Amino acid sequence: MNKQTKKHAFLLPFPRLFTRGETDAYDAIPFREAEFFGDEAAPALTAPALWSDEAVSVLAEAARTDVPADLYAVEENTVPSWLWQHRGRAARCVAESDTRQIFDRAVGGAVAQAWKQGLLDSEKHARAFYDEARYALAARHIAIEPEILHGWGLSWAYGAAEEPQADTPTEKPQQSEIANAAIDAIIGAKDGNKKATSGAPWKKLFAAQGKNETRVDLRLSDIAADWHSPAPNPARAAIDLMALRHNDGGINIDALRHTARLLTILLDLNDAQGITITLANLAPLLMALGLAYDSEAGRALTASIAALVTAECMAASAEMANFRGASEAFAANRDAIMRNLRNHARAAHGDAADYERLSVLPAPLPLKNCPDLALVAEAQSRWNDALTMARTFGLRATQATDMTPSPRLAMLMQSASQGLEPMRNLTVLAADEADGYRTELHPAVIEALTRLSYPRNAAMAVTQHIAGTKSLRKAPAINAASLHARGIDAAAFAKIEAYLPHVDTIRLAVTPWIVGIDFCRTQLKIPARKLESPRFDLLSHFGFSDEDIAKANAYCYGHSTARSAKTLHLRHRSVFACGNEVGTDARLRMAAAVQSFVSGDIGTVLTLPAAQSVENGRETMLTAWRSGIKSLTLVFDPALAAPRTPKRAARRIAAASQPHAKPIGPAKRIAKNGKTAPATTVRKPNEKRLRSH
C-alpha cells in the first residue's frame, strides 16, 4: 500500500443517480452490432444503439486485440467476487468485440485498485461507483480519449502487464509567446510612438502570406503565468451538458456535480498524470433554454457552469489527496496553486478587484445576469469547499478544466459543439433504417421554440425553413404538378418522395435510376443514348433552371439556419445564431466571461479577414489581453471581406465587451484618453471572506 494512503473510509458512499442497485448498469441501454471498422481480423464492435458508426469507430481505437481467449477468475478472500482479477488459460488471443468490455475493465480495474488500497469500506459503495461510471460511459454522459482507455484495467481484466500511462499529446501547434513588454510596444505604436515600433517582432505575426489562410497561435504568457497554467499532456475527457438536465430542460445541478466528481475520481484511480475536462453541447444547452449565445444571460450561465464544474473537480481532487497523498506537482508549487484557487474563488463570488498578483483583472461572475441563481450559489459554495480542502489535503490534479475543443471527443459524443464553440449548424446527420443518413433538426431548436412560446404553426414554419420538408409535393417551381406536366406519373413521383429523405439534394432523387430506366424510355420518351450519358440530368432535361432547382432544394432540405425564417421574431434570431452568424466579438465576449473559471485554456479560434491583417490581428490580440484570456488562435482568411464598422460603433463594441478590462500588473494601463499610464500596484487582496482558506 502506498505510504501516503490513509486508512479511512473512501469518498463514498457514492450516490446512485443513473443506475439502480437491483439491475445491471447496462439494462436500460439498448445495444447493437456496429458496422465493421479497423483490422479485418477484428470482429464488429457491439455498441449502444444510439451511437453512430463514426462514434463507434473512434472508441474502437480503445479496444484490445490481445485478449486471452479463455479467462478465469483468481479467488481473493479479501475482495468481493465480482472484483476478482482474471487471467488467461491459453496463449490464444482474441479482440475485444463489445464496448462493454472496454467500459468494464476501465472502471473495474480502478475500483479493484481502490478496494485493495483500503479506500473503500463497503461493497455496496464500490458497486455503486462501478455501476454509475460504466453507465456514464455507455450513455456518454462522460467521454475519455480512446488512447487513454486503451491501457486501463489490463491487469485486472486479463492478467496482462499494465502499460505505462500514455498521456494524449495535445494537438496545439507551437504558440507565439506575447509578453506584457511586447504589448506595451503595441500600445506605444497605437499612440504614435515610433520608437516603440522599431524592430517590433509582432508585425510579422499578423502578416498574411500568399493566397492561403495564415494561422497565428498566440499565448499571452504573463496572463498564463499569473494563473500558473501547467503545460503537460494530460488525459482529456468531456462532460455532456445536454444529458444532465431536469425534465423541464433546466440544469440538474446535482447530476452535474455528481458527474464531474465521478469523472475526476475515475481518472485519478487510473493514475492519470493530469486531467483536462471540457464541456460538450454547451451551445445547444443555451439554445434549448432560449438564451442567445451572445447575451449577458448566456455568458453568465456558461460562466456559472464552468465555475461549478472546476470547483467540483478541484474538491474531488482534494478528497483523493486526503487518501492517496497530494501530487508532486502540488507540493512543488503549493503557494502558486493556492493563490490560483483563491483567485478563482474570488471571481466566483463576483469580486471586482481583490485579486492576488494578476497582471490583468479577470472577469468576475456576473451574478445579476445569471438566470439560474441556484447554480451560482452552488458554484460559490463548492469553491469555498475546494479552497478549504485543498489547503488541508493538497491536490492530486492541479489542473481540472480546459475548453479547447477536441474533434475526436466531439465525434465520439456526437456533440453539436465542444468547449465554448457555438453550434456549427442547426441540423444533424442521423442514421436511418436504410443504412444511410438523413438530415434532422437538432432537438435544441424544438425546445427553444417551445420555451419561447411559439404557436404550433409558427414553430413548424421555422423548423421547415431550417431543415426542410423532405417533400417536393408543394415545393416552388419543382413539385407534384410541374413534374406531372412533364410526364412523371403518381407511381414515379411516389418513388421520388420515398427517396428524398435519404439524400441531401433533389438532383439525387429525381433521376432515371429512381423513377426507372424503362419508365424514362417508354413513358418519357428519352433516347437511350442520353440516358447512358454520365452527364445526363433529368431536371435539366425537363427544362428546370438552376434557380428553380435551388428554390425547390431549399424548400425540401432547408437553409440550415433560422436567420430568414418569416415566422421567427426578430428579437429571437440571436437565440438560433450558429456558425459564422456568431461573430468574433461574440466569441471573445464568451471567452472573456469564462476564462476566470477554467484551469487551462479556452481554445478560442477567430477567423479574420486577411486584408489589413496587421491592424485586425493587433486589435483582436489587445482585446483578448484586456479580457484576461490566456491564449487564442487567429486565422486570416483571404476570402473573408473586411467588416465596415464606424469608429464610434467599434469603440462601443469594445467597451461593451470588456467591462472588466483593467490591467493592473507590469504592463501599462490604458487611460481613458487612449494614452498609456504608469502601471498600478497590485491591490492588497480582501482576505475577510476567504480568511479561513
Question: What pLDDT is stored for residue 481 in this prediction?
Answer: 97
C-alpha to C-alpha distance for 499 and 519, rounded to whole angstroms: 17
C-alpha to C-alpha distance for 499 and 510, rounded to whole angstroms: 9
Question: What pLDDT is stored for residue 185 in this prediction?
Answer: 78
- Do the beta carbons of residue 392 and residue 329 sit within 8 Å? no
E strand or H helix at 330: helix 328-332
Question: What pLDDT is stored for residue 7 in this prediction?
Answer: 41
Residue 371 belongs to what domain range? 174-420+582-693
pLDDT bin (cut points 50, 70, 90) of residue 648 is very low
Look over the chain and give the mean of its residue pLDDT values, rounded to a whole number.
86
- Largest Cα separation within the chain, whole Å, is 90
Neighbouring C-beta atoms of residue 151, cutoff 10 Å: 16
Residue 395 vs residue 203, higher pLDDT = 395
Question: What pLDDT is stored for residue 237 in this prediction?
Answer: 97
C-alpha to C-alpha distance for 370 and 382, rounded to whole angstroms: 17
Same domain, 61 and 195: no
- Do the beta carbons of residue 526 and residue 541 sit within 8 Å? yes
Same domain, 239 and 383: yes
Query: pTM, whole model, 2 decimals?
Result: 0.89
Could you give phi then psi for residue 217, rounded to 5 degrees? -105, 115
pLDDT bin (cut points 50, 70, 90) of residue 26 is very high
Q: What is the mean pLDDT of residues 113-135?
A: 91
Question: What pLDDT is stored for residue 393 in this prediction?
Answer: 96
Taking only the tens place, the pLDDT of each residue in 565-578 is 999 999 999 999 99
Least confident of 132-146, 183-197, 433-447: 183-197
Residue 205 vs residue 572, higher pLDDT = 572
pLDDT bin (cut points 50, 70, 90) of residue 640 is confident
In a domain, 305, yes or no: yes
Q: Can you name the residues that pair with 251 across neighbouring β-strands?
A: 245
Could you give phi then psi for residue 640, rounded to 5 degrees? -95, 125
Return the sign of the alpha-carbon dihedral for residues 232, 255, 602, 346: negative
In a domain, 456, yes or no: no
Same domain, 681 and 586: yes
Same domain, 549 and 617: no
In a domain, 671, yes or no: yes
Let me know if 213 is exposed, middle or buried by CB neighbors in 10 A (0-12, 13-18, 19+). middle
C-alpha to C-alpha distance for 410 and 685, rounded to whole angstroms: 40
In a domain, 82, yes or no: yes
Neighbouring C-beta atoms of residue 162, cutoff 10 Å: 13
Question: What pLDDT is stored for residue 207 in this prediction?
Answer: 63
Same domain, 490 and 599: no
What length does the chain have? 693
In a domain, 577, yes or no: no
Neighbouring C-beta atoms of residue 125, cutoff 10 Å: 19
Per-position DSSP letters for 185-251, written without gaps between them: HHHHHHTT-HHHHTT-THHHHT---SSS-EEEEEEEHHHHHHTT-----PEEEEEEGGGSB-TTS-B
> What percentage of the chain exceeds 90 in pLDDT?
68
C-alpha to C-alpha distance for 202 and 181, rounded to whole angstroms: 11
In a domain, 297, yes or no: yes
Same domain, 290 and 329: yes
C-alpha to C-alpha distance for 76 and 587, rounded to whole angstroms: 55
Nearest to 111 by CA among 165, 98, 119: 119
Nearest to 664 by CA among 266, 226, 246: 226
Nearest to 653 by CA among 574, 576, 587, 580: 587
Same domain, 643 and 525: no
Taking only the tens place, the pLDDT of each residue in 215-256 is 888 999 999 999 986 656 788 999 999 999 999 999 999 999
Q: What is the mean pLDDT of residues 338-355?
A: 95
In a domain, 130, yes or no: yes
Residue 491 vs residue 182, higher pLDDT = 491
C-alpha to C-alpha distance for 398 and 326, rounded to whole angstroms: 10
Same domain, 362 and 413: yes
At 427, list the grid cell.
441540423
Give how far Cα 519 sits from Cα of 491, 513, 531, 539, Å. Answer: 10, 10, 11, 15
Cβ neighbours of residue 653 under 8 Å, at least 6 residues apart? 585, 645
Same domain, 292 and 378: yes
In a domain, 11, yes or no: no
Among 495, 522, 557, the domain-final residue is 557
Nearest to 65 by CA among 47, 92, 35: 92
Same domain, 680 and 551: no
Same domain, 127 and 195: no
pLDDT of 692 higher than 60: no
Taking only the tens place, the pLDDT of each residue in 415-466 is 999 999 999 999 987 766 655 667 889 999 999 999 999 999 999 999 999 9
Q: Can you name the residues that pair with 142 across neighbouring β-strands?
A: 239
Instruction: Please count the structural domains in the chain.
Output: 3
C-alpha to C-alpha distance for 597 and 122, rounded to whole angstroms: 35
- Do the beta carbons of residue 313 and residue 400 sit within 8 Å? yes
Same domain, 267 and 319: yes
Q: What is the DSSP letter of 162?
A: P
Question: What pLDDT is stored for residue 233 in this prediction?
Answer: 73
C-alpha to C-alpha distance for 450 and 460, rounded to whole angstroms: 11
Nearest to 664 by CA among 358, 238, 419: 358
C-alpha to C-alpha distance for 319 and 309, rounded to whole angstroms: 15
